Amino acid sequence: LVMSNQSVSGSRRRFLRGAAGVVAAAGVAPVWSLGQDAPKGQVAAPAKVPTPGEGLSVGLIGCGGQGTGDATNAVRAGARIVAVCDVDEGHLAGAKKRWPEAEGFSDFRKLLDQKNVDAVICGTPDHWHTLVSMAAMRAGKDVYCEKPLTLTIDEGKHLVRVQKETKRVLQTGTQQRSTVGFRLACELVRNNRIGTLKNIEVFVPAGRREGPFKASEVPPGFDYEMWLGQTPKVEYVKERTHQTFRYWWEYAAGTITDWGAHHNDIALWATGYDRSGPVAVEGKATVEMIPGGFTTPSEYEILYTYENGVTHRCRTTTADAWNGSVLDPKGQRHGVRFEGSDGWIWVTRGTITASDRELLKYKFKEDDKRLYFSNDHMGNFLECVKSRKAPICDVEIGHRSATMCHLGGIAVRLGRKLQWNPKEETFVGDEEANRWQSREMRQPWDYSAVGGV
């Protein structure tokens, strides 16, 4: 079995290829020229691309745009693609053409049976991430899984448990953690360089608002039944699959779990709550969706509150398209703004600015708080496959980042304020909200299909 995640934009592919290319806006020099160094004991990435994956054999599950991009990065880091898998014959053929020596499969379980596969990349739609990753770890494979790591909060709890049980390496594909600009912003916030943090403003692109759509015949060479997996059986509608799957509640939560999984993750990294989370969340959709069309709200507002009183607002912007491309050059860009008692920092892909430019030239001291250093997300994963160290976005961090987004999605669906206990991972005094932590999984694709819970 293989499912495809095609919702990768050209800009996102360029981001994956040039993760170190962060330039400060408004005339500020690139951050790598501002005297920013690696934490003590860690060495900055050399100019020549290293080969941390040398000698490793990787299988790709989900050969759409994002999976193919991830696999290309693995090859660039020195790994070999020895197996590819997809339920769409067209996607599988494309992957075989790119990597002719790789063996092709239509069932992910058969790929996982291959003894020559050291690690797998899971580039499927969201509703397959957990089952594929659980099966891979139990098959003795390390996993690079795309974000969001899970479809539900409950799935994340199971993934964390299985990783502890198997001790496999799992890297979540939140690649912004492996870029200099986002790391710099988080380290400056962690070290109170903008004073006491008060508020975080996260802007994500608005989703797609289209429809109504018509059912049609399943195209030849596409195993739609397997693509659906655990989700409800419904008539085939082209817009439910491939590039636009994430705009249906059954398979994702729109840009809340797409872009939100990136920018809200950075907010958690800066606050230090990336193995915990907020204590309250409220949200609402700000547009009505078209009947018979996409179901996840294209525009919304979410407010999170942390235990220390810091607030965190996540809102959509229509100035950026769903794929991050610019629609209105004068409008609000997607990204993260940290607001403190003494200043602010704005960071997004390719840009970091601040209320005081000198902030970006800060020379970190020996006793400052420093963060996990990585300038190559896939390279970091492959290095950890060899060293058995935890990657920069391990399973627990990936679960908590996904949970952050799921909390927002649940709040938007229920339209009221919810209290959350991050230690117990439960909504306080709200059984209806707690029921949304999981979803009914259609047979045979529940947890028992990959070794149980």
Instruction: Express each pLDDT in 33-70 by its tens digit.
Output: 344 555 555 555 444 555 899 999 999 999 999 999 99
Q: What is the pLDDT of residue 11?
A: 45
Confidence at residue 30, expressed as pLDDT on a 0 to 100 scale: 41
Question: CA 47 → CA 44, 90, 175, 375, distances in Å?
Answer: 9, 37, 19, 11
Is the predicted pLDDT of residue 452 greater than 90, yes or no? no
Strand bridging mode 300-305 / 280-285? antiparallel
Looking at the whole model, is its pTM more than 0.85?
Answer: yes
Query: What is the tens place of the pLDDT at every residue in 168-190?
Result: 999 999 999 999 999 999 999 99
Question: For position 390, what pLDDT does the model report?
Answer: 98
| Cα separation values, 221 from 91, 142, 224, 226, Å | 10, 29, 9, 12
- Model pLDDT for residues 116-163, shown as the tens digit of each residue: 999 999 999 999 999 999 999 999 999 999 999 999 999 999 999 999
What does the pLDDT read at residue 204? Answer: 98
Q: Using CA atoms, how far apart are residues 61 and 5, in angstroms rounded to an integer? A: 10
DSSP code string of 333-383: PSEEEEEETTEEEEEETTEEEESSGGGGG----TTS------S-HHHHHHH
* Cα diameter, the chain: 63
The residue with greater pLDDT, 67 or 28, is: 67
At a CB cut-off of 8 Å and minimum separation 6, what does 334 contact?
203, 204, 205, 259, 263, 317, 320, 324, 348
* Mean pLDDT for all residues in the chain: 91
CA distance readout (Å), 265 to 23, 53, 307? 21, 26, 17
Strand ranges (E), 34-158: 57-61, 80-85, 103-105, 119-122, 142-145
* pLDDT single digits (tens) 306-316: 999 999 999 99
Of 301 and 2, the one with more pLDDT: 301
Task: Give CA–CA dist 344/172, Å, rounded.
Answer: 28
3: confidence class by pLDDT, cuts 50, 70, 90 = very low
Q: What is the DSSP letter of 222?
A: B
Q: What is the pLDDT of residue 14?
A: 42
Average pLDDT (431-450) is 96
CB 408 within 8 A of CB 314: yes
Nearest CA among 67, 114, 112, 62 for reference residue 87: 62
Read off the pLDDT of residues 56-114 as tens digits, 9 standing for 90 and up: 999 999 999 999 999 999 999 999 999 999 999 999 999 999 999 999 999 999 999 99
93, burial (CB in 10 Å: exposed 0-12, middle 13-18, buried 19+): middle
pLDDT 10s digits, 362-389: 999 999 999 999 999 999 999 999 999 9
**What share of the chain in percent tops pLDDT 70?**
89
Please state whether beta strands 351-354 and 300-305 pair in parallel, antiparallel, or not at all (unpaired). Answer: unpaired
Query: DSSP 3-state assignment of 141?
Result: coil
In angstroms, rounded to a whole number, what is the distance separating the alpha carbons of residues 170 and 388?
Answer: 10
List the structure tokens of 169: 């390496």
Q: How far is CA 386 from the centre of its chain?
A: 23
